[in-house]
């Protein structure tokens, strides 16, 4: 992740909790740091072309760039590397939590930061499998802490129009042209140099009419190699367009947060 942070014009030690001492954090809070950015990743297979940390690397890279844009108001905390990937468990190496554990962990991260005085939280999600739980988390947080503001977004979805316009493959969705383009831009060490073309199986009613129906499926039932899409078509400039658009839009939302 250091490689990614070399791009930043502000010294990386001022952007993330990972690099701050507690007196430095106290000074930042006195100077107006009031918004916590929480990257949410996963440790799951990304086909033959990506490492297990594609989602974590993307989420961390996104949040570091957002923290730089919104310095000194926003502070990034270390990425959450484990989340909800039960559908990828038939591929070796994937690590998943149960939804209960994930919700408890996320709640306790917020609770710790709340006790230190933070009231505003933004979760940048890099993994589609976390969406239902993050929606539940927002309801739970609002109930437990009436004085906080919290929001989450999958940053790919924030720029879905740029994804739709830029992706050339017929199918995309996981470890694909769109996702691996973002990974090339945000976390290049997660992308294999020699990339093999997509090997898509995708049956089961054309993956349930391309997302409009949600069947209970393991990922190996719809793709032979773990990818849904063609990562060999991924390119850095598409990743840059997707991510910089998402950053513009998320930043605009958070300015009045
Ligand atoms: Zn992913």
Residue 5: predicted pLDDT:
47
CA of 52 to the centre of ligand 1 (A): 8
CA of 59 to the centre of ligand 1 (A): 10
Axis crossing angle, helix 236-255 with helix 177-186, rounded to the nearest 10: 80
CA of 179 to the centre of ligand 1 (A): 7
Report whether the peptide linkage leading into residue 76 is cis, meaning its omega lies within 30 degrees of zero.
no
CA of 47 to the centre of ligand 1 (A): 10
CA of 180 to the centre of ligand 1 (A): 8
Residue 2: predicted pLDDT:
47
For 217-236, b where at least 16 C-beta lie within 10 A, e where not — what string? eebbebbebbbbbbbebbee
Residue 1: predicted pLDDT:
42
CA of 147 to the centre of ligand 1 (A): 33
| Residue-range definition of the domain harbouring residue 30 | 2-255
Distances (CA, A) of 240 to 75, 80, 86: 22, 23, 30
Residue 211: predicted pLDDT:
61
CATH number at residue 41: 3.40.50.10310
Provide the 8-state DSSP code for 143.
H
CA of 96 to the centre of ligand 1 (A): 13
CA-based angle 167:171:172, to the nearest 5? Answer: 65
CA of 54 to the centre of ligand 1 (A): 6
Residue 10: predicted pLDDT:
67
Q: What are the per-10-residue average pLDDT scores of the chain (257 residues)?
A: 52 82 94 97 96 98 96 96 97 97 98 98 97 97 97 96 93 90 97 79 59 79 88 96 98 97
CA of 235 to the centre of ligand 1 (A): 16
Residue 217: predicted pLDDT:
85
* Count of domains observed in the chain: 1
């Amino acid at each position: 992740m250091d490689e990614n942070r070399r791009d930043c014009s502000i010294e990386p030690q001022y952007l993330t909790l990972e690099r701050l001492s507690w007196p430095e954090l106290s000074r930042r809070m006195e100077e107006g740091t009031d918004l916590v950015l929480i990257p949410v990743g996963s440790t799951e297979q990304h086909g033959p072309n990506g490492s297990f940390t594609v989602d974590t690397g993307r989420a961390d890279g996104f949040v570091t760039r957002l923290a730089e844009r919104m310095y000194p108001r926003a502070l990034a905390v270390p990425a959450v590397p484990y989340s909800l990937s039960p559908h990828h468990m038939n591929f070796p190496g994937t690590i998943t939590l149960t939804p209960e554990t994930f919700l408890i962990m996320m709640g306790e991260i917020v609770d710790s930061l709340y006790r230190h005085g933070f009231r505003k939280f933004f979760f940048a999600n890099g993994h589609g499998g976390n969406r239902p739980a993050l929606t539940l988390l927002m309801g739970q947080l609002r109930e437990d802490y009436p004085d906080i503001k919290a929001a989450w977004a999958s940053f790919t979805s924030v720029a879905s129009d740029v994804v739709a316009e830029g992706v050339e493959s017929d199918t995309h969705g996981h470890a694909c042209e769109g996702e691996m383009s973002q990974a090339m831009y945000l976390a290049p060490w997660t992308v294999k140099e020699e990339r093999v073309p997509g090997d898509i199986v995708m049956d089961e009613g054309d993956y349930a009419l391309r997302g409009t129906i949600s069947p209970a499926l393991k990922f190996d039932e719809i793709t032979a190699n773990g990818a849904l899409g063609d990562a060999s078509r991924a390119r850095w400039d598409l990743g840059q367009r997707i991510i910089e658009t998402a950053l513009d839009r998320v930043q605009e939302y958070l300015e009045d947060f």
